[in-house]
Structure 1
């Protein structure tokens, strides 16, 4: 009964019962010490610890863990040093305390002198280094392990995933399968996130197959990761199937589905899911409304978006945050309602941030409002002077209006401030291998074949009415040279490679690290018609589904 009170955090009742006990055994003393320690009351925990007539290893470890959980590492180490006897649990507790507070030097010092290391000790070190971003140290410990369990592999895979080493995570997964190790749900979740980040659909589907073979159901945690993976890899049909298979959908599940459809340009479907979410009784949160507003923005549903924004508080008790205002500014700006967008910026309940000004700059570029674009850019440069993307947006705006002197000034400004434009590149997965392309790529082994195909395609495209958007070239050169500079953008090379190497019935999925330019967007629309192919392009902002000469974004991106 005493333990029951402690577990339910009824410490006052537990203390009354403890004081009435005619005989107090070690279990009773330990229950009181642990109860106070776990609730952060180390003064009372220490009182019972001092008064306890008999202290075994568990008692000391409870005090150590209590201090550690409350960030009192010096006191925890003092208890550890004073312990008359230590077992693997007490050693691991002290090492874990250091790991939790990112003190990896102290953790490894203890680990190296630990006389009774077990697999939990090794796993704690791998996890600690991985979470601290010290991935080489994590791998060093991992490689020294004589025995590994599912937690060991998961910790190392998670470390690679969280540190942005997606390919290393996938290589380790392959090694794990070859070693016959059993994966846990954490491993699968990390791997789905990795496949999503680097957009390798074929590999993600193989991991999904392993999940099914392992007998794991699609609980919310792993199911949501799988759902996000399919969306981020451009496979909305598989995402929908995964969504239907998740029996218990939480708010994250619904949000992932809404945001996924929105990013792919299927705003109507996103709003259908939102309606269904409300019918199931799941309460929308702030993230839900970002997805809903983005869906309206990406598909031009201006009035619906405005209505949703104004009903947030009344219908769902949600106060609009900065990200919701950004969505509304973007919504108005894309629709050409720049005056309303500017008015909203003036009436904000807080100072506009760089993201809001960026939305206004993007709208200025679409609708060729050079003055507004310049003002927006100046505000962004004040807030984020190293934001290379905004320099490029403003340069495009100047170039499209023929203001080459202003383009030159921007180049000088970037050089003087040391701002470097992020180089654009695209990649495509074919037969489980990822092929990378940069603009004017000269290193791909099949470059001659790709370039020859693009030359043939260029002639067909021009016959079909395609006109290169030479106004986007940020150089004051002849038209012919501008056309040549546009012809070999990285996404065009990746698309061409996909057409040459993938069967006609399979979609071509290309990923680009930057936003797709207007010329490539127009060109790929034309290519989808000429080649009768579904081409799915993921850029830094959204997805574009090109089919039959049109795009899912309706040229509204």
Structure 2
């Protein structure tokens, strides 16, 4: 054999291998001492030659098994004599090493072929999924045995050509158990259970594997009665038969029948016991599962993990930890289950402690700890762990991506979210509905409804969550008309609205003052979509009517509710009362809230603000005393902005930021320019009994103004400014930011705890209706 090299001065790199050319020119490799043929009788010479060929063939096979194709080829070329086995060993070796082209060349060059040669090559075509070439070769075969027929049958079956497989089966001159079982398994795996049953009945006697296959087919279709009938008819049963039926009964919640079969089973192995443990755990009967678990003489990882997961699910994390510590054969799933359990029980310290002790981690481990931090409200640490995960070289899965995208959405870190989106696209996950919906929510919560729309268009199969996210997103951003347009498109695409859809629709009407449209949707959703209004729908309607000043109608709707109103419903009425200065109605709403949620600081603040707006300072003081007496603390207001992947947080009058001097100087300049545009400080919004000058000073450095000023100074021109506030934006700041957007010529997006405000050229998308 000749090799042609490139760049001989460097290490050899072979471009072409020809296993056939110049076979005669190759120098034979000496495997055994040469013996003079003249010194031996003729029959001994023949025997030695035959023995030598066997050794050569065995060496070729050994090289091929080790993946040493070139070494095998050198031996093959060096052989003084070759037989069919030599050629077949080479062909088979090439096929097992995925060198199909070389196998094909050797097969075509064979001086003579036996049945094995044809079958080996036929199997190679089938393995390579080249069924056309396989059938052509099959038709050319001078002789076929049952192996040839079974190879073609399996080839068609494994590639989904079930009818063609059946045609091969029907014309087979001889069938063996493999032929029958191959077709039976094909029918079962493709859900054609009736065809499997008819085939089964054609054969008078079957091995137990065939009975198990048919029974498994019925179970796959959840046809338990039919599967049990097969089980009862079986002439003999093996461990697979018993375990399959027991496991299926257990997994489908029929634990009494599973236990009955379990007690009858003559052969119980660890799988039998584990099926019972898992069945009881999955159906919430953890104590019974523990009883079976304790009876087990031999326990495997699956049974230990099933019990640990059972205790985690019923929030008995202490018992789960006891088992975990006693487990002699912990695997990565055991660690992940415990970490997830701690995280779900808000014990992130214990979760992190276990995580740090893990001998090995996978993407599920990282996703669990990231989700744990996110669920506990520690979004920054969740994102930090995500960065550590990428540095650790761990492959990101859908769960990891979804978790970190949701975390970005919670704290509105837009730039990092976009970077993660880019990585997600490279990983090929973007078009999936699960990850796509997380992206939709992230862009909506980060104030980029346009990019959310782009993601929505790219989701291959949109579900109701996809549509709901866009409807709610448009509603929160103040684009009520677009939200309702999406609602119409959703119905046109045949997606049935659910209760979440209607909350989004009613919110869209509320945020844009579409009272009549909202009333129409509310009263027709039971008839049109079969949706019964729940407390959230009623709260939307109270908010809608209240914002529009129809407080009497809002009260009447509360009285007509088929269930007692909750704190959120009364809160909507209290908010509307404050907006329209109706102190009496506000007090009534607040009294109901304090009964339901005496710890709700926000409602004390709302009523206090209502009193302050009416000049009732004594009542304001009483509210503050009640707030103190209940041990409830008012949530401090703060705002934050993301600049170059870093979060900058501001509180009212904040002077701790390194850029404070520059920010305050810039705000002083902005205030002068705003006053030139007609800005007047809304001192009436200061709900403290102080003089006008002090009120103006208190409004001057609200957290959202500081965040906006810092962002203008640090976010490049041409890019939107995104600011988040944990409470509602105050009216004075809303007026000021409108003017600032006009003065500096920047688009400013402000997200408060209720909705989005898009400020551009002195106008807000809320239309001052929020």
1:118, CA displacement in angstroms?
2.0
1:116, CA displacement in angstroms?
2.2
1:156, CA displacement in angstroms?
1.6
- Whether the aligned pair in 2 keeps the contact of 1:196 and 1:230 (CA below 8 Å) is yes
Tell me how far apart the structure 2 counterparts of residues 339 and 131 of structure 1 sit (CA, whole Å): 44
Alignment match of 1:188 (pick from 401, 408, 411): 401
Alignment match of 1:415 (pick from 613, 628, 635): 628
Alignment match of 2:642 (pick from 401, 405, 429): 429
Partner residue, 1:441: 654
- Whether the aligned pair in 1 keeps the contact of 2:617 and 2:689 (CA below 8 Å) is yes
Partner residue, 2:314: 101
Q: How many residues matched?
A: 557
Give the 3 Å change call, closer, same or farther, for CA 75–417 of structure 1 in structure 2: closer
Q: Which runs of 4+ in 1 moved over 6 A?
A: none
Partner residue, 2:45: none
Partner residue, 1:375: 588
1:33 maps to 2:246: yes
Alignment match of 1:266 (pick from 479, 493, 502): 479
1:343 maps to 2:556: yes
Alignment match of 1:492 (pick from 705, 727, 730): 705
Alignment match of 2:285 (pick from 72, 78, 98): 72
Residue aligned with 2:561, SS: coil
Tell me how far apart the structure 1 counterparts of residues 340 and 716 of structure 2 sit (CA, whole Å): 43
Partner residue, 1:503: 716
1:124, CA displacement in angstroms?
2.0
- Whether the aligned pair in 2 keeps the contact of 1:7 and 1:35 (CA below 8 Å) is no
Alignment match of 2:663 (pick from 438, 446, 450): 450
1:140, CA displacement in angstroms?
1.5
- The structure with higher relative contact order (CA 8 Å, sep 6+) is 1
Give the 3 Å change call, closer, same or farther, for CA 75–510 of structure 1 in structure 2: same
Partner residue, 1:203: 416
1:21 maps to 2:234: yes
After the TM superposition, which of the residue ranges 161-170 and 412-421 deviates more from structure 2? 412-421
Partner residue, 1:328: 541
Alignment match of 1:138 (pick from 345, 351, 356): 351
Residue aligned with 1:434, SS: strand
Alignment match of 2:685 (pick from 472, 475, 483): 472
Alignment match of 1:120 (pick from 330, 333, 354): 333
Cα root mean square deviation, aligned: 1.5
Unaligned 5+ segments in structure 2 are 1-213
Give the 3 Å change call, closer, same or farther, for CA 358–74 of structure 1 in structure 2: closer
1:28, CA displacement in angstroms?
0.9
Unaligned 5+ segments in structure 1 are none
- Whether the aligned pair in 2 keeps the contact of 1:399 and 1:471 (CA below 8 Å) is no
Tell me how far apart the structure 1 counterparts of residues 742 and 430 of structure 2 sit (CA, whole Å): 41
Deviations 1:341-400 (CA, angstroms, capped at 9, x unpaired):
222222222222222221122112222222222222222222222222122222222222
Tell me how far apart the structure 1 counterparts of residues 319 and 571 of structure 2 sit (CA, whole Å): 45
- Whether the aligned pair in 2 keeps the contact of 1:360 and 1:373 (CA below 8 Å) is yes
Tell me how far apart the structure 2 counterparts of residues 394 and 322 of structure 1 sit (CA, whole Å): 22
Partner residue, 1:9: 222
Deviations 1:471-504 (CA, angstroms, capped at 9, x unpaired):
1212211101100011011111101101111122
1:390 maps to 2:603: yes
Tell me how far apart the structure 2 counterparts of residues 133 and 301 of structure 1 sit (CA, whole Å): 41
Partner residue, 1:161: 374
Partner residue, 1:229: 442
After the TM superposition, which of the residue ranges 528-537 and 83-92 deviates more from structure 2? 83-92
Tell me how far apart the structure 1 counterparts of residues 465 and 509 of structure 2 sit (CA, whole Å): 20
TM-score for the superposition, normalised by structure 1: 0.97
Deviations 1:502-529 (CA, angstroms, capped at 9, x unpaired):
1221111111111111111111111111
Give the 3 Å change call, closer, same or farther, for CA 228–405 of structure 1 in structure 2: same
- Whether the aligned pair in 1 keeps the contact of 2:429 and 2:435 (CA below 8 Å) is no
Tell me how far apart the structure 2 counterparts of residues 466 and 452 of structure 1 sit (CA, whole Å): 18
Tell me how far apart the structure 2 counterparts of residues 418 and 472 of structure 1 sit (CA, whole Å): 26
